[in-house]
Structure 1
């Protein structure tokens, strides 16, 4: 018999630890953007350098997420990999404060991307096993959406900027090592080893393990599954929506819309607030309404956000509408975690999540911003808003072809089928 109280306590402890873990990943990933104005002159960096630094991190993130995620499934040792990854990316972030030029900074950011890439697929595979079916989507949404938004987009900017103003940008990077080491200790102390976790959660997980193919066969087998293929394609277009929007919006608001930098900062903060709110609301809704309809509806709403930035007249109204329409970060949890985790066997979860995230990062995080930048040079910066909105619309259309996976919805359907008609 499984002790339900003990199981529920561990579920909440694991959620808390992994919330801090992935939130701090985004805190570090976005730190360069916040500190770039402080370091650009000293290191002789240009906007092209910033773009390349972001791209190489995304490329490394994509490759390691796919490869190490699959490896963690194969060896069945996720906890030690998670501890090592957190320590490594924290060290690389701290070493960014000791660089002397672009090349050394590029090298540290690349290694940092390699360390950060596996953290999401490994964390979500741990979370899905320890989640009660009725709150699986909510847990995964808090981990992936709200954590990144709260620590990366709401808390991160003022904290990193305040440290840079008080002690300098180098010290701000170096001090980021401290919370990373604390989080690594929390993982080591509170996250159960795979064997223990598997024993305690077996009664709560509704998928049996299956034989695990390796290498190219593993990826080919996953992509032959309709939901996994669709989630991978959705990831490409959704990463395009997100990265293009988040990369170009500050410049767009100042240079095209003519807003003051302070006003631009306030609107960007609204994006962070929306990220936190929708990060758990959307997955929570999907637990009851279903993954597929939730993804379709909130993705169409996300497609409206670039149009809000393009056409809304006043900053106040723009901020309100941004909070109401910046729903896409909650959808990320559905196609990048919940749906694939509920589609494949336990032994393929990290592989599937790493594959979906990796290809999405390559196309949407690495390729699309460059193409959008070239288009902006040719046709004006307004074009990036149409690129972002169009990508979300395509993602919504692809979502219509998904098969439903939400446990509560499937249970209701099975109950309706089993009941004799009147």
Structure 2
């Protein structure tokens, strides 16, 4: 009993620390989008520049997330990597406030992406091991969905816009260093040390090496990777261009833009844990299909909502995608592959998704916006969510509660057929 209470206590402590960690990752990642209307004129940047800045960060995420995730599975190193990554990306975010032009900003955003990329696979692999089976989806949803929404999209926009209006956009970047250092200390203080890898002839049996190509031969892993590519397109294109779209195309003030982005953040927080929690009850596949279709309505609301009030309400109702992210990027893979391959699978799914949806798509969207207008990016985002819903139809169910009910039903039917 005491052992169970101790494990439950650590599960909650770990969730709290990793919640802050990944939430602050997105605070820093989204800062550029919120501050872009302020720095655009001074640094003489275009929509194409914004697309390239988003793309280089995503490319760095893709490379480091996949490589470091696989390396951590082989070496059994997670805690020390998390501490180093948080310190590095905080420094790079602060240095973004000292840039003199596009190229230096591009360099710092790229280095920051290299530091941020491993944080999700490392955090989720720690969380899945510490989670009770009945709340695995909820824990992973709070970590990946709600944390990023609360810190990155609810707290981030008004805080960053207020700092930029009062002290300038450079100071808004620089002050991000302090909370990053504090979070690094929390990880060092409260996350349990890494368990040593077993050595000797039995080690290869208990902890097999994870081969990314072998993982892609798994039905669910392949589908999750494809869903990641199109759903990350939905997210990165939407979150990168929405602030400038609201100001330049819809004609809202920067303050109104900040409030509307906070509506996105509030929806992100709510749906970030609600969608995975619903999937614990009704299954991963139907949940992913339903809420992907709802997410496709979000860019349409940005295009056609008649005023700020109705737009804010529609954003709260339709910005459901980040809850879906937890399912295809973490929960379903973690329930599909052996635990020794979790970080590798998560890093690969995130990495390929970032490569296509985070690197290629924003660059194309930026050039398309300069040629056809910013409205085109909303249609690109909508298409990504629709494709995700279609691909989700072919997933194999992994939710423990749903599988248990099916097993119970099968047993009951067999018993009923016995003479």
Do the two structures share a fold, i.e. TM-score over 0.5?
yes
Partner of 1:202: none
Q: 1:188 to 1:329 in 2, by over 3 A?
A: same
- CA–CA distance in 2 between the matches of 1:373 and 1:165? 26
Deviates more, 1:130-139 or 1:26-35: 26-35
- Say whether residues 1:266 and 2:259 are aligned partners: yes
Alignment of 1:25-64 (within 5 A): 25-64=25-64
Q: C-alpha displacement at 1:410, in angstroms?
A: 1.1
- CA–CA distance in 1 between the matches of 2:102 and 2:367? 23
- Say whether residues 1:347 and 2:340 are aligned partners: yes
Q: C-alpha displacement at 1:268, in angstroms?
A: 2.3
Note the aligned Cα RMSD (angstroms). Answer: 2.2
Alignment check: 8 A CA contact 2:50 2:366 kept:
no
Partner of 1:94: 94
Among candidates 208, 214, 219, match of residue 211 of structure 1: 208
Q: C-alpha displacement at 1:51, in angstroms?
A: 2.7
- 1:63 aligns to what SS in structure 2? helix
- CA–CA distance in 1 between the matches of 2:64 and 2:155? 27
Partner of 2:295: 302
Q: Structure 2: which 5+ residue stretches go unaligned?
A: 199-204
Deviates more, 1:340-349 or 1:90-99: 90-99
Alignment check: 8 A CA contact 2:76 2:197 kept:
no
Alignment check: 8 A CA contact 1:240 1:368 kept:
yes
- CA–CA distance in 2 between the matches of 1:270 and 1:197? 45
Q: C-alpha displacement at 1:260, in angstroms?
A: 4.6
- 1:211 aligns to what SS in structure 2? coil
Q: C-alpha displacement at 1:40, in angstroms?
A: 4.1
Alignment of 1:168-179 (within 5 A): 168-179=168-179
Partner of 1:121: 121
Alignment check: 8 A CA contact 1:209 1:345 kept:
no
- Say whether residues 1:312 and 2:305 are aligned partners: yes
Q: 1:196 to 1:139 in 2, by over 3 A?
A: farther
Q: 1:351 to 1:328 in 2, by over 3 A?
A: same
Partner of 2:108: 108
- Say whether residues 1:148 and 2:148 are aligned partners: yes
Alignment of 1:16-415 (within 5 A): 16-195=16-195, 210-213=207-210, 218-415=211-408
- Say whether residues 1:421 and 2:416 are aligned partners: yes
1:370-417 Cα deviation digits (max 9, x unpaired)? 223344455444333222222211111110111111111111112222
1:160-190 Cα deviation digits (max 9, x unpaired)? 2333344443333232111111111111111
Q: 1:33 to 1:248 in 2, by over 3 A?
A: closer
Q: Structure 1: which 5+ residue stretches go unaligned?
A: 199-207
Q: C-alpha displacement at 1:253, in angstroms?
A: 3.6
Q: C-alpha displacement at 1:289, in angstroms?
A: 1.0
Deviates more, 1:222-231 or 1:149-158: 149-158
Q: 1:300 to 1:60 in 2, by over 3 A?
A: same
Alignment check: 8 A CA contact 1:291 1:334 kept:
yes
Q: C-alpha displacement at 1:111, in angstroms?
A: 1.0
- CA–CA distance in 2 between the matches of 1:163 and 1:340? 40
- CA–CA distance in 2 between the matches of 1:42 and 1:163? 17
1:294-333 Cα deviation digits (max 9, x unpaired)? 1011111111222222233333222212211111111000
Q: 1:104 to 1:313 in 2, by over 3 A?
A: closer
1:33-85 Cα deviation digits (max 9, x unpaired)? 23334444544444443332222111111110010011011100111111111
- CA–CA distance in 2 between the matches of 1:196 and 1:377? 53
- CA–CA distance in 2 between the matches of 1:370 and 1:187? 35
TM-score relative to the length of structure 1: 0.91
Partner of 2:201: none
- 1:3 aligns to what SS in structure 2? helix
Alignment check: 8 A CA contact 1:240 1:363 kept:
yes
